[in-house]
Amino acid sequence: MTRLACPNCPNTRGKGQYLCQTCWGRLTPLARRLLSVRDAKAFARLRELHGQIAAHKPLDRIEISR
């Protein structure tokens, strides 16, 4: 199974997952739900997530657009 680096911590994430299990669990339920939608804006939402991680925003404060 392919293991990739989590963008937020030294853990690894699975292929097709944005974060490792620990970090994913720290997002708000709303953020998790929005990030789980795979539509034309999915990549834009992923960029929002990465931008806020890069800005060192706490995971439970990250906000994703609808």
If binding is defined by CB under 5 A, does position 6 make contact with Zn ion? yes
Determine the interface stretch with Zn ion among 4-12, 37-45, 46-54, 57-65 (rule: CB under 5 A): 4-12
Concatenated DSSP letters for 1-66?
Answer: --EEE-SSSSSEEETT-SS-HHHHHHS-HHHHHHHH--STTHHHHHHHHHHHHHTT--GGG-----
If binding is defined by CB under 5 A, does position 27 make contact with Zn ion? no
- Tokens at 62, concatenated: 């990250």
Single residue of 3, 4, 11, 14 touching Zn ion by CB under 5 A = 11
If binding is defined by CB under 5 A, does position 23 make contact with Zn ion? yes
Binding site for Zn ion (CB under 5 A): 6, 8-9, 11, 20, 23
